[in-house]
Structure 1
Amino acid sequence: MPKGDIETYHQDGQWKNRREGTERPFAAGGTKKEAIAVGRAAAAEDRVEHIIKNMDGTIAERNSYGNDPRNVPG
């Protein structure tokens, strides 16, 4: 069963990480840099995309750690 992408985001005064399709974060607290490191590790382990958001909710960065359909050899 494929796992959802990982999202690092800011909410209620905290940086958090959650999997796509879930409401509950699996990690919360610390600095943005620390939250990104936790999210990156989870995305790499699950071989999914890591979406990093700014405090205002806009996407700052996306990194793929799995089979990226946009990166097809050819």
Structure 2
Amino acid sequence: MGKNQHITRHPEGGWQVKGEGNTKATVVTNTQQEAIDAGREIAKNQQSELLIHGKDGQIRARDSYGNDPYPPKN
């Protein structure tokens, strides 16, 4: 399982995809949707989680593309 991918505001403007624990952004985009699309592909490839942060920095959504620690109960 790879690193979880976080979608956050970039300090110089725009949005970024950043692997958990990384100091540099993997991808920097103009819009949050572009960052989400790029981050989703990375998370799928690495079988990790995608965590989408809002403008306030709080996590507003998350998607799991690997071993889900909280699978749905049938």
The aligned counterpart of 1:8 is 7
The alpha carbon displacement at 1:73 in A equals 6.7
User: Structure 1 33/72 Cα, relative in aligned 2: closer, same or farther at 3 Å?
Assistant: closer
Partner AA of 1:9 in structure 2: T
TM-score by length of 2: 0.88
List alignment gaps of at least 5 residues for structure 1. none
- Segments ≥4 residues shifted beyond 4 Å: none
Query: Matched residues, percent identical?
Result: 32
Partner AA of 1:33 in structure 2: Q
Distance of 2:73 and 2:65 partners within structure 1: 16
List alignment gaps of at least 5 residues for structure 2. none
- Aligned residues between the structures: 73
